[in-house]
Amino acid sequence: MTYEEYLDENGELTYTNVGTSMMPLLKQHRDLFTVTKRGSGRLKKGDVVLYRRPPNRYVLHRIIEVRPEDYVILGDNCVKKEYGIKDEDILAVMTGYVRKGREHKTSNISYRLYSFYIMHTIPLRTGVKRLYFRLRKLAKRVIYGKK
């Protein structure tokens, strides 16, 4: 059964997080997230969405910009923005998560503060990560003589 079929049948999906793109909010194989099938309206900046990336890959990332025809999306632990995500690609919106065994709702003030921080530090966080990756690559060249 696909995520689309499951959401059509149940309206809600709770699943384990795989990957590091949503750290520190969700840790791989430890935390769970709950998404609810999206409605017909436009989504808003800061929403965490489950969307389909061709060919049949599913991704949970945050909307960082709402444009007239599409969305710009970025994982909380990523540096590369994804452009051109359309409404029809988005299956569901995150409504809650279980972190370290504790349930949280996206309507809670603690989550809203976290989301505010994440949204307002994107340039700083991505800049620091890019610098880190460049320095690490340079160090490997110096130490190991690799390109």
Signed CA dihedral, 3, 5, 6, 11: sign only: positive
**pLDDT tens digits for range 56-108:** 889 999 999 999 999 999 999 999 999 999 999 999 999 999 998 999 999 99
Cα separation, 47 vs 5, whole angstroms: 22
% of the chain beyond a pLDDT of 90: 79
- Could you tell me if residue 141 is inside a domain? no
- Could you tell me if residue 138 is inside a domain? no
- Domain count of the chain? 1
| Of residues 87, 89, 94, the one with CA closest to residue 14 | 94
Cα separation, 97 vs 108, whole angstroms: 11
- Could you tell me if residue 52 is inside a domain? yes
The boundaries of the domain holding residue 69 are: 3-120
Cα separation, 30 vs 64, whole angstroms: 25
Q: How confident is the model at residue 2 (pLDDT cuts 50, 70, 90)?
A: confident
pTM above 0.85, yes or no: yes
Residue 110, domain CATH: 2.10.109.10
- Could you tell me if residue 131 is inside a domain? no
- Could you tell me if residue 69 is inside a domain? yes
- Could you tell me if residue 78 is inside a domain? yes
